[in-house]
A and B are shown apart, each in its own frame.
Chain A
């Protein structure tokens, strides 16, 4: 018809999104070239005293924490049997899968010899290292996520038989995914156990692994809410009735769950200080920042979630979800960058180079591009008509 043709005719490649994304991708490519011709020193402010920077703090630590929505959502739906969250599973898995893929991609920039990344698994295993455990679990979990995501792709490709076999693996993969997630989420915290003399006492605790694991739960839940907010805005036309109907359940259910976990986490953090008798540190400037973190980014969202669920205030839930996500970023930054090396004089402290930030922005853009590509074409927000009710 006339209108359709007109619409089809106006479709140009230079949408605002494509332009901005294109520039960022171009910058990313240039930075990649610089990285592999000039070494890490060419585009980072990393030093011998500060070997880990924003690529680890944000891309790795925050990336993994925020991709936790994958295991939490699929656990809620398939293990705990809460079927009303079913429509949220595929978007969450997609976020998690792309998230972990981007983490691995980021590691290719950060690590000195990225082609040797398979070494710890296949060549020589350093089993005394927490990082070995992180690497192994991330490697396995990325595979699990790939398989969990694949039904959507297989449906899109029309490979019915393969798809049906893969779907049968869902429960096993979910359980395996939770096991692997528990291990590597906590191990990312355990990484810093080896340096008690370098991490500020308010953030250093033998419970760091537990803190990281528990916080990943509400990080994932909040990230799902946040991602669904954005998706509703940009991919609304791709969402089917089930998805739109269940969305309310997801928002409120996840907000409630996140509220409870935040509360428990807050209590654990207080116990953490009490166990090591670190109260006197609260009176220092680091102590003030610590209070900002646990009061402003843990206690406050816990409270706001509770209020929002009670008042049935969806808007408040969405903003609180964003705030919680921010809080996770603050926490991971604190442990790995701000409270780390706190005893060094300020002249020897680290601040990221703009090129490091540039690579991070580039990677996030790649994530968004991939997400958009997949969401617009594959049955993520809707059920493929041929496979309805076969989940």
Chain B
């Protein structure tokens, strides 16, 4: 090698190394994780249609729908500029709907889908740029097909619930004003397999989710498609007819964020005290194993739990949707699915399980457990251990004997009503004179004076918060139950034991989970305040509860 060339080569390498070294000086700084620089949007759609035709070569495109809707609105363009009309309506709505697909009605082949997207998207962008407006990318594949960590948006889509209030508003909006007749058939339909047609079955209406699942099956579209065809399209058509509805906030949204953004959801008008949906549902029900399930011999031999009377009307009023309990159909739980011994339709979940599973939001016990987390209840219920099996004596709270209340001829509904009447909720606690007004805790006084607190006031506040709650007043079986919130691990009594009777020295090897007295006081008091979200007293404001001792 020529000496000169070698020298040149060395110099070149040194320059490269030097440049690289300068670039990597930033390497001493750690790359902070991507945090608030990402925007959370409800209108984020991932375009990965080509996955149905095989593996995709480039990352799926992240498409912001509302962004486009707004941009096109500025150009006085509406949905039809991207969405084509479908000939056969997917609901019983009279007019043609718009397809949710982009500029096509069907996905025929990989090439077709690819071309539609590329030609239409890029073409429209180019046109906008030409007319001087901001538009999406027109070249460089990577600007649309962003790498997963290159996107600065993240999906924040919240599903929208059709609750009672919204349902009522829809009933009123779709009513035939002239005839004063509801038109439930506009949304509610069933499918006739034989005739391969949709039809309206009165009295058999149910939630869309009972049939339309997460995925599109052979003849049944997914809930996403179904809801967009039915809901969004109806909103669009009505708004087209009467543009003022949007300003008056009396029409459902068309933009993604309108339904799926958390803040926008909160803006939806809620009507309290909605009249009861008319679906011929019972006011009361008696939960018991079905007659026909048991053979004669079984009826005689088996020892069954007492039936449970159920106030269906009250539960309807207390819940936002029917689906909270009726998750698969509006029929009775044990009718077709959750039988005594379990059957295929119910995923072999037996009746007892369905009623009692503590982690499930659909079961009786699960929902009641959930209610314990409400602010008014949390103060006491946070400290009650989960996971332990149910207290057997609590079964009687629900499973009641029907002797003396039922006759053979009575319908189960009426039996239930009578049994429920026989229940006495406990709305009060002991008399005021029996409750000490102020309690001073000075057993451990060291750096602080005794802690004086308004004992009776606290008790009365708890009573006030719970006396109108049917759940609370029925489950708190005794007058002294509320006291057990603090005076725990002892039977309810007028004179429950003091904390210091059980709590003493901390870290006792023989009772590992029992805090010492100081810890018990602070854990109980401060813990309850935190669970109930009390602003005062603040946990670190020691002086508010006990004054400092003068040295």
**Shortest CB distance A246–B (Å):** 26
Binary flags per residue of A301-335, CB closer than 8 Å to B gives 1, else 0: 00010010001010010010000000000000000
User: Closest approach, in angstroms, between the C-beta of B375 and any C-beta of chain A?
Assistant: 39
Question: How many angstroms between the C-alpha atoms of A309 and B102 in the bound complex?
Answer: 69
Contact mask for chain A residues 273-295; partner B; CB cutoff 8 A; 1 contact, 0 none: 00000000000111011011000
In the complex the two chains form, is B13's CB within 8 Å of A300's CB?
A: yes
Q: Please report the C-alpha to C-alpha distance between residue A277 and residue B24 in the assembled complex, in whole angstroms.
A: 22
Taken together as a complex, chains A and B put the C-alpha atoms of A289 and B20 apart, in Å, by 8
A349 to B29, CA, bound (A): 9
Verify B1–A285 contact, CB threshold 8 A.
no
Cβ contact within 8 Å between A288 and B29: no
Nearest chain-A residue to B3 (Cβ)?
Answer: A313
State whether B6 touches A288 (Cβ < 8 A): no
Given A307-B6, A313-B3, verify A292-B20 contact (CB < 8 Å). yes
The answer on a CB contact under 8 Å between B28 and A349 is yes
In the complex, the answer to whether B6 meets A346 with C-beta atoms within 8 Å is no
For the complex, give the distance between the alpha carbons of A319 and B26 in Å. Answer: 29
Q: Which of A291, A313, A319, A345 contacts B29 (CB 8 A)?
A: A345
A262 interface residue per 8 A CB criterion: no
Any A CB within 8 A of the CB of B23: yes
Q: Measured between alpha carbons, how far is A284 from B29 in the docked complex, in Å? A: 12
Closest to A344 in B: B30
Tell me, yes or no, whether A343 is within 8 Å of chain B by CB. yes
Interface of B is mostly: helix
> A337 to chain B: closest CB distance in Å?
10
Within 8 A of A (CB), among B14-39: 17, 20-21, 23-24, 26-32
> Which 10 residue pairs are nearest across A and B when measured between Cβ atoms?
A285-B27, A346-B29, A289-B24, A296-B17, A288-B24, A286-B27, A285-B24, A292-B20, A289-B27, A349-B28
Other-chain contact of A307, B1, B20, B21, B30 (Cβ < 8 Å): B1
Once the chains bind, are B28 and A292 in contact (CB under 8 Å)? Answer: no
Q: Is the CB of B30 within 8 A of A346?
A: yes
Q: How far is the CA of A300 from the CA of B23 in the complex (A)?
A: 20
Q: Does A180 interact with chain B (Cβ within 8 Å)?
A: no
B32 CB, nearest partner CB in chain A, Å: 8
Q: A342-B30, A343-B30, A344-B30 are in contact. Are A289 and B6 (CB under 8 A)?
A: no
Give the residues in chain B near A344, CB-CB below 8 Å.
30
Question: With A296-B17, A307-B6 given, is the CB distance from A345 to B27 under 8 Å?
Answer: no
Q: Which residues of A contact B24 (CB under 8 A)?
A: 285-286, 288-289, 292
Q: Which of A284, A285, A291, A338 has the most CB of B within 10 A?
A: A285
Contacts of A319 in B (CB 8 A): 10
Pair B29/A296 contact, Cβ less than 8 Å: no
Interface string of B360-385 (1 = CB under 8 A from A): 00000000000000000000000000
B21's partner among A292, A345, A346 (CB-CB below 8 A) is: A292
A143 to chain B, nearest CB (A): 40
Alpha-carbon distance between A274 and B10 when the two chains are bound, in angstroms: 29
Rounded to whole angstroms, the CA-CA distance of A343 and B30 in the bound complex is 6
Docked Cα-Cα span, A242 to B94, in Å, equals: 110
A-to-B contact residues, CB < 8 Å: 284-286, 288-289, 291-292, 296, 300, 304, 307, 311, 313, 316, 319, 338, 342-346, 349
CB neighbours (8 Å) of A313 from chain B are 3, 6
CA distance A291 to B24 in the complex (A): 11
A246 to B158, CA, bound (A): 82
* A289 lies within 8 A of B26 (CB): no
B residues apposed to A, CB below 8 Å: 1, 3, 6, 10, 13, 17, 20-21, 23-24, 26-32
Cα(A343)–Cα(B27), bound, Å: 11
Determine whether the beta carbon of A345 is less than 8 Å from that of B20: no
**Chain B residues, CB < 8 A from A349:** 28
CA distance A304 to B30 in the complex (A): 35
Q: Are B27 and A288 in contact (CB under 8 A)?
A: yes
Chain B residues contacting A307 (CB-CB under 8 Å) are 1, 6
- Minimum CB–CB distance from A24 to chain B (whole Å) comes to 28
CB distance from A311 to the nearest CB of B (A): 7
Contact A311 B1 (CB under 8 A): yes
| Cα-based distance from A307 to B26 in the complex (angstroms) | 34
By a CB distance below 8 angstroms, the chain A residues around B29 are 345-346
Q: Report the minimum CB–CB distance from A345 to chain B (whole Å).
A: 6
Q: Smallest CB-CB separation from B17: which chain A residue?
A: A296
Q: Which residue of A lies closest to B26 (CB)?
A: A285
**Distance in angstroms between the alpha carbons of A198 and B10 in the assembled complex:** 35
Inter-chain CA distance A342–B28, complex, in Å, is 7
Q: How far is the CA of A289 from the CA of B21 in the complex (A)?
A: 7
Q: Are B28 and A338 in contact (CB under 8 A)?
A: yes
CB contact under 8 A between A345 and B30, given known A292-B17, A300-B13, A316-B6: yes
Give CA–CA (A292, B16) in the complex, Å: 10
List 22 A–B pairs whose Cβ atoms lie within 8 Å, in order of A's numbering.
A284-B27, A284-B31, A286-B24, A289-B21, A289-B24, A289-B27, A292-B21, A292-B24, A296-B13, A296-B17, A300-B13, A307-B6, A311-B1, A313-B6, A316-B6, A319-B10, A338-B28, A342-B30, A343-B30, A345-B29, A345-B30, A349-B28
Q: A346 to chain B: which residues have CB within 8 Å?
A: 28-30
* Complex Cα gap A1–B343 (Å): 124
CA distance A289 to B17 in the complex (A): 10
Q: Which residues of A sit under 8 angstroms from B20, Cβ to Cβ?
A: 288, 291-292
Minimum distance in angstroms from A158 CB to a CB of chain B: 49
Q: Shortest Cβ distance from A89 into chain B, in angstroms?
A: 31
- A344 to B23, alpha carbons, bound, how many Å? 20
How far in angstroms is the closest Cβ of chain B from A317? Answer: 12
Q: How far is the CB of B462 from chain A (nearest CB, A)?
A: 48
Given contacts A292-B20, A313-B3, 8 further A-B contacts (CB under 8 A): A284-B31, A288-B27, A291-B20, A292-B24, A311-B1, A342-B28, A345-B32, A346-B30
Closest residue of chain A to B32, judged by CB? A345
B26 proximity list for chain A (CB < 8 A): 285
Report the separation of the CA atoms of residues A292 and B10 in the bound assembly, to the nearest whole angstrom. 15
Distance, CA A260 to CA B1, complexed state (A):
21
Q: Which residues of A contact B32 (CB under 8 A)?
A: 345
What is the distance, in angstroms, from B149's C-beta to the closest C-beta of chain A?
Answer: 12
How far is the CB of B57 from the nearest CB of chain A, in Å?
21
Give Cα A344–Cα B31 distance, bound, in whole angstroms: 10
For A288, the chain B residues whose CB sits under 8 A away are: 20, 23-24, 27
Chain A residues with CB under 8 Å of B21's CB are: 289, 292
In the complex, what distance in Å separates the CA atom of A284 from the CA atom of B303?
Answer: 70
Report which residue of A296, A300, A304 has the largest number of chain B beta carbons within 10 angstroms of its beta carbon.
A296
Q: Which residues of A contact B3 (CB under 8 A)?
A: 313
CB neighbours (8 Å) of A304 from chain B are: 10
